[in-house]
Amino acid sequence: MTSDILIVDDTVENIRLLSKLLKDEGYQVRGAADGKTALMLCDKKPPSLILLDIMMPGLSGYDVCRQLKEQPATKDIPVIFLSALNELSDKIHAFQAGGVDYISKPFEALEVLARVSTHARIVALQRSLMEKNAQLKMLAETDSLTGLFNRRYLISKVKASSVHYSVILFDIDDFKQVNDQYGHQFGDEVLISLSNRVIELCREQDIAARWGGEEFLIYLPEADQQQANALAEMLRLSINQCGIEPAGNISASFGVASQIQGENLELLIKLADSALYRAKLKGKNCVELALPP
pLDDT per residue as tens digits for the range 65-92:
999 999 999 999 999 999 888 788 888 9
- Give residue 249's pLDDT band: very low, low, confident or very high (50, 70, 90): confident
Which runs of E-coded beta strand occur in 75-118? 79-83, 101-104
The answer to whether the 4-139 and 149-289 domains have the same CATH topology is no
CB contact at 8 A, 207 and 156: no
Q: How far is Cα 230 from Cα 116, in angstroms, rounded to an integer?
A: 59
May I ask the CATH architecture of the domain 149-289?
2-Layer Sandwich (3.30)
Out of 2.60.40.420, 3.40.50.2300, 3.90.79.10, 3.40.50.12140, which CATH number does the structure's domain 4-139 have? 3.40.50.2300
**Catalytic-residue membership of 233:** no
Exposure string for 155-165, b = 16+ CB within 10 A, e = fewer: beebeeeeeeb
Closest by CA position to 197, among listed 177, 218, 178: 218
Q: How far is Cα 225 from Cα 33, in angstroms, rounded to an integer?
A: 62
Checking phi first, is residue 287 left (phi over 0); if not, alpha (psi -120 to 50) or beta?
beta
Q: How far is Cα 246 from Cα 49, in angstroms, rounded to an integer?
A: 55
Q: For residue 248, report the phi and psi dihedrals to the nearest 5 degrees.
A: 80, -150
**Given the residues 87, 131, 204, 214, the one annotated as active site:** 214
Q: How far is Cα 238 from Cα 228, in angstroms, rounded to an integer?
A: 15
Domain ranges of the chain: 4-139, 149-289
| Residues 46-57 pLDDT 10s | 999 999 999 999
Confidence (pTM): 0.65
CB contact at 8 A, 232 and 170: yes
The one-character DSSP state at 84 is S
